Amino acid sequence: MTTGAVTTGALTTGASTTGGFGDYPALLDALHADVASDRFVASPSGRVLASARALGGDGTRRFTRFGLACVPAPGGSARDDVTAGRFGEGLLTLQREVVHRTLTHTIARLGERASEGTSLLTRPQLQADLADVAMELQEAAAEPAEETGRDVRWARHMRLTRAGRVLLRLLGGYSMLAEGPGVDLYLAEVTGNVYLQPEAGDGDV
């Protein structure tokens, strides 16, 4: 996995830039396989989110149209706390990479747009919003690598979710087009809601 930097004026943040929009289900499958030795990891509520392809196309319809499925955990799914902790940290890494990728895309797209002959990136409020997201990513990347409690992971997930929503607001309706970042941000948010919530339940499913 490569490490790069995004820079525009005072904005700089380092994170992986591997992959493209629409690959979140495949990345989630790879995380399951890596953490649980080719098994699925069950959420605290006893469900599994993975690609619709990996789960045979069954599951919640609202997700299958985006390539993701949510089903009761199959037999043999990993349920122990150690695996759940590693999986939770992996989910936060995926979410951070999706937000970083979206930040890069947002900067590039807004940089192509102008108002009264001036780039939109010169607007102070827009610069402040982008800088806040970049700072959140830097702080998230600096979090300790060792396993943390569920409350801490949940708080980190919510901060990244808010950062992603800022970018969606800046991009407007374009973000939900096929070539936009909206779907991956949505799936990362929903997956975190299911797996990282402090109390057992169905999260946002």
Query: Which tokens in the block code for residue 190?
Result: 């929903």
pTM, entire model? 0.82
The predicted structure's pLDDT at residue 27 = 95
pLDDT tens, 138-170?
998 887 766 578 899 999 999 999 999 999 999
The CA distance from 105 to 8, in Å, is 12
148 in helix, strand or coil? coil
Residue 74 has a pLDDT of 92
**Other C-beta atoms within 10 Å of 162: how many?**
14
The closest of 3, 28, 31 to 16, measured between CA atoms, is 3
Note the pLDDT of residue 5: 31
Residue ranges for the chain with pLDDT beneath 50: 1-18, 201-202
Beta bridge partner(s), residue 71: 48
Tokens of 150: 């569920």
Q: What is the pLDDT of residue 15?
A: 40
- The packing angle between helices 150-171 and 81-111, to 10°, is 20
- Spatial CB neighbours of 2, under 8 Å, sequence gap ≥ 6: 16, 17, 18
- pLDDT attached to residue 123: 85
pLDDT value, residue 112: 79
Q: 166: which strand partners? A: none
User: Which of 134, 126, 132, 139 has the alpha carbon at shortest distance from 103?
Assistant: 134
Q: What is the pLDDT of residues 118-129, one digit of tens each?
A: 778 888 898 999
